[in-house]
Amino acid sequence: MRRKTKSKVLVTGGTGFIGRALIKTLSASGRPIVAPIRSEDSSRGLRIGKWKCPVIGEINSNTDWGRLLHDVDAVVHCANQSGVIDEKKPPQKQPYFEINVNGTLNLAKQASEAKVRRFIFLSSIKVNGQYTEKGKTFNELDPPNFSDLYGESKYETESRLLELTKTTAMETVIIRSPLVYGPNSKGNFEKLSKLVSSGIPLPLSSIRNSRSFLAIDNLCDLIQLCLDHEAAANEIFMASDGQDLSTPELLQGIAAAMGVSLKLYPCPPRILEIIANAFGKQFLAQRILGSLCVNAGKAEEKLQWTPPVNVKEGLKRCFPEVGPK
C-alpha cells in the first residue's frame, strides 16, 4: 500500500550519476528536496529549482547533518566511496569504512533523532558476490559473499542499519542493484560504449554468459515507490530491468541505440580469459565473460513493482543525441 505524501526528502550524492537523476525524478513529482553537496567546487552546477544546494562538507563519522534534517520525512543515501581510491597502492579498508559505514551510520542516527520516517540506502549486488553460476540468480536470502572492500563495506552498513531499526522508530529500506546505466553513466558502461563507437572488430561473439542490468529510470522509479510503500519498511530488495543479456547482446543493444554498426567475430572464451590473465586483466575478463544475474521477484511481489522501461528503451535513452530511428 502506498502512502500519499509530498513530504521533504534529503538526497545525498546529488552530484553523482544516480543522485542527479533521482533529484530530477523526485522534483518532477512535486516533492520538496534538500540535496547537500561536499563543496561549492563539487556542485557541478547542481541546483534544485532556483535554489543552490547547501554545503555539508565531507561525509564521515563527524558530519553534522542537524540543520538539514529539519522537517525531512525521508532520506535517500546515494553518496558512497566506490571504485579504486589509488591505483598505485593496495586497497585500504579505512577510507571505505569511514565513508560507507561510519558516514552512513552517523547520518542514519542523526536522522532517527530528527524523527525522519524512512531511510533508503543504496547498496550493491557486490554484497552477494561478483558472479553467478549458469542458470542461477542472486536473491535477498542468499548469504553474503563479497570479494572486495566495497562489497564488505556495503554489507557492514546494511547490517548496522537493520540493527538500528530495532531500537528506533525510523524505517530502513535497502536496495541492491547490479550495474546501473543511463545518460552520462561512467565506469564499465562508458567503456563499453566507447568500445562500440570505435568501430574496432571485437572477438566476443562466442560468449554465452548472462548479466542483469538496471536502467537509471527504473532505479529511480523503484526508489520513489520505496519512499512511501508500507510494505517496503525494513526490507532488502534486488532490482533489475527484468531482461538479462549476454555480453554480445549488450554490445548489440548499445550499437543499435547509438546508430552504429558493430563487428563481432568468434573466439573461444577460454582463449580470451588466458589473454586477459596474461595482461593482469582478470577482473575485466570476469565482467565480460562471467554471469551475474539477480532475481527481483520480491519487489514485484511485495511492492507490485514492474520496471517501467525495457532494456531497448533504456539503452536508447543513454544516447538522446542519436534521435529517432
CB 238 within 8 A of CB 176: yes
CB 32 within 8 A of CB 6: yes
Residues catalogued as catalytic = 150
Three-state SS at 324: coil
Three-state SS at 50: coil
Strand partners for 33: 9
Provide the CA 201 distance to its chain's centre, in angstroms: 30
- The cell numbers describing 4, all together, are 500519499
Q: The cell 549458469 sits on which residue?
A: 134
- Burial class, 119, CB count within 10 angstroms (exposed 0-12 / middle 13-18 / buried 19+): buried
Provide the CA 20 distance to its chain's centre, in angstroms: 12
First to last CA, the chain: 39
Distances (CA, A) of 313 to 71, 94, 170, 204: 37, 40, 36, 24
